Amino acid sequence: MKTLNWTLAIAFSLLAIGLAPEQAAAQNDETSIKQRLLERVASVDTLKISGAVGENNKGFLTQRANLNPAQTKTMNDENADRKALYTILAQRLGLSAAVVGQGRAESIRKKSAAKVWIQDPNGSWSQK
């Protein structure tokens, strides 16, 4: 599992700085996805710190409180872009998107700020 986590960490690092080789169309799509994720960071962090959403053990946001329509859209858009990015990375690494998401969830758990709700691999929720 440690090897997989390191592989995923390296792959995500390469994705973040754009060093992974890909076709032009896929690059544009991946670039667009990463740009949207970056533009949404502040909104997502606000939702997480407030406890309205948490980080589940599959690498996605999970609703934990009532959300207004704008907050629901933010959560859904974030999850859609994460899913798309996990799929791209999974194809590149010869893994399933689910495995990539679980690896990302582990990384998120380690890096999350205080007060963020996180789900451990066994499904238990706790506030960091």
Give DSSP secondary structure letters for 25-84. Answer: HHHHHHHHHHHHHHHTHHHHHHHHHHTSEEE-TTSSEEE-S---HHHHHHHHHHHHHHHH
Predicted local distance difference test score (pLDDT) of residue 27: 54
Record the tokens describing residue 112, joined without a space. Answer: 């999350």
Are 120 and 126 contacting, i.e. CB atoms less than 8 angstroms apart?
yes
33-60 pLDDT tens trace: 999 999 999 999 999 999 999 999 999 9
Domain layout of the chain by residue ranges? 2-15+24-127
Type of residue numbered 62: T
- Helix (H/G/I), strand (E/B), else coil: 92: helix
Using CA atoms, how far residue 98 sits from 20, 26, 67, 79, 104, in Å, is 20, 20, 26, 13, 10
Residues of the chain with pLDDT under 50: 1-3, 6-7, 10, 14, 16-17, 19-24
Predicted local distance difference test score (pLDDT) of residue 43: 97
The residue whose two tokens read 């792959």 is 11
Predicted local distance difference test score (pLDDT) of residue 20: 47
